[in-house]
Amino acid sequence: MNPRFKCNDFLCRVFVEDTDFQGVVYYANYLKYLERARSQFLIENNLSQVDAKTHGNELYVVKSVSLSYFHPAKLEDELIIKTEIELTSKARTKFFQSVLNKKNDTLICEGVVEVCYIDNNSGRPIVFPDRLLNLFKN
């Protein structure tokens, strides 16, 4: 197993739009929370998805997702999304993510999201930017 890079925790609150009529988070919305945490990681490390697409026609794409649910999050809960990244090749990473209730540290959901970096013209994998690869050297 490769070493993992720990990202900063990402905080978010559950709003009405995230829930069903009982005030419980709809299961698919956890994917949005995980995506926001991954996007924030890129932003914090000056890895603009817009620049990658605009200047190099390169994209970060999700290859696979595996989620397990343990407890529901509810309206007005504050959530912590914890993320660790494992570089599996120079063009692919796995994000190990968990969603916890900030108030009581209850594990709500956890997942593994595999992300690849591709050339948008060919659809083929290409090497991540050096800035991202250098994070795993520290």
Quick check: 79 and 98 in contact, CB under 8 A?
Answer: no
Measured distance CA(120)–CA(133) in Å, rounded: 20
β-pair partners for 101: 79
Closest CA to 95 of 33, 6, 16: 6
Instruction: Report the catalytic residues.
Output: 20
State how far the Cα of 101 lies from the Cα of 78, in Å rounded to an integer.
6
As a residue count, the chain comes to 138
Q: How far apart are CA 113 and CA 64, in angstroms?
A: 6
113's enclosing H/E stretch is: strand 107-119
